[in-house]
C-alpha cells in the first residue's frame, strides 16, 4: 500500500520528500527505496523458491548482482515527522532494520507547528487519522492540515489518503487529483493538492512571462 501510494504520487527521488505524520516510517522506507532504486526484499534472508528442485543458485546471484548495480543515490532530503516520541523511536528502529538510515531523517515534530525548511520542489505524502482508531476532532484536525500546507509548505505537492470524505471537505484546498483506493477494508480517497508560492494565478503569470 505504501509503495503503491508513493508510485501513484509520481515521486522518483528527484525532489525532497516529507511524511509529516510518519508513524512507524513505512511510507518513508518505501520512498527511500524508490528514490535510490533499491530492489524490494533486498534484506530478505530466504525465499520459498530457494526450496524448488530446479533452483539455480548461480542464476539467482547473477540476477541479484545486476539489480544491486542499478542502485543510485538520490541527493534530495527524505524526512519524517511525528508528534509522538514513541512513533519516532519505532520509525528509527524500522529504518535501521531496512539499512536506510543514511537516506532518511526522522524528527520529533508536530506537523501543525512546522514549516518547509528545504529548498525546492517537495512531495508531501501522509496517512492522517481517519477517526477509526485515534480519537480526534476530525473537522478541526483536517482544517489544520489544510492551513499548515497552505501557509507553510509552498512549492510542494501534497498527497493524503483518508476514508473520511466528510473530514476531507474541511481541508479547504482544491484537489487536483482524487484516486479511489482500498486501505484494508476501508474505501479511501488518495488526493493531491498543488501548493504554490503565493497564489496559483500569480505563479501562472510568472510562468507566462518566461
Top CATH class, 2-35+74-208: alpha beta
pLDDT digits (tens, 9 = 90+) for 83-119: 999 999 999 999 999 999 999 999 999 999 999 999 8
Judge whether 195 and 159 are in contact, CB under 8 Å. no
Give the residue-averaged pLDDT of 35-41: 92
Out of 48-52, 128-132, 158-162, pick the least confident. Answer: 128-132
Task: Give the domain ranges of the chain.
Answer: 2-35+74-208, 38-71
Which class for 67: exposed (0-12), middle (13-18), buried (19 or more C-beta within 10 A)? middle
The whole-number average pLDDT for the span 123-145 is 84
Task: Kindly tell me if the per-residue pLDDT of 204 is higher than 70.
Answer: no
Q: Kindly state the average pLDDT of the residues 52-65.
A: 94
Q: Is the pLDDT of residue 180 over 90?
A: yes
Residue-level pLDDT at 198: 63
Query: In this predicted model, what pLDDT tens digit does every residue of 159-173 receive, in sequence order?
Result: 999 999 999 999 999
Under a CB-based contact definition with an 8 Å cutoff, are residues 104 and 32 in contact? Answer: yes
Rounded mean pLDDT of the chain?
A: 90
User: Considering the entire predicted model, what is its pTM?
Assistant: 0.87
Amino acid at each position: 500500500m505504501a509503495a503503491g501510494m508513493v508510485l501513484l504520487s509520481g515521486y522518483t527521488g528527484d525532489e525532497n520528500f516529507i511524511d509529516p505524520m510518519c508513524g512507524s516510517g513505512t511510507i518513508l522506507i518505501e520512498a527511500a527505496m524508490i528514490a535510490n532504486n533499491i530492489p524490494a526484499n533486498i534484506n530478505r534472508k530466504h525465499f520459498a523458491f530457494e526450496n524448488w528442485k530446479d533452483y539455480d543458485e548461480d542464476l539467482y546471484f547473477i540476477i541479484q548482482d545486476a539489480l544491486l548495480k542499478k542502485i543510485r543515490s538520490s541527493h534530495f532530503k527524505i524526512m519524517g515527522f511525528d508528534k509522538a516520541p514513541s512513533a519516532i523511536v519505532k520509525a528509527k528502529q524500522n529504518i535501521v532494520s531496512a539499512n536506510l538510515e543514511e537516506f532518511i531523517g526522522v524528527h520529533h515534530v508536530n506537523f501543525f507547528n512546522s514549516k518547509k525548511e528545504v529548498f525546492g520542489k517537495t512531495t508531501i505524502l501522509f496517512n492522517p487519522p481517519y477517526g477509526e482508531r485515534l480519537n480526534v476532532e476530525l473537522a478541526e484536525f483536517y482544517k489544520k492540515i489544510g492551513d499548515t500546507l497552505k501557509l507553510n509548505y509552498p512549492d510542494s505537492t501534497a498527497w493524503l489518503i483518508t476514508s473520511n470524505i466528510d473530514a476531507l471537505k474541511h481541508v479547504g484546498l482544491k484537489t487536483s487529483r482524487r484516486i479511489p483506493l482500498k486501505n484494508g477494508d476501508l474505501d479511501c480517497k488518495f488526493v493531491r493538492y498543488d501548493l504554490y508560492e503565493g497564489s496559483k494565478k500569480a505563479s501562472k503569470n510568472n510562468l507566462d512571462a518566461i
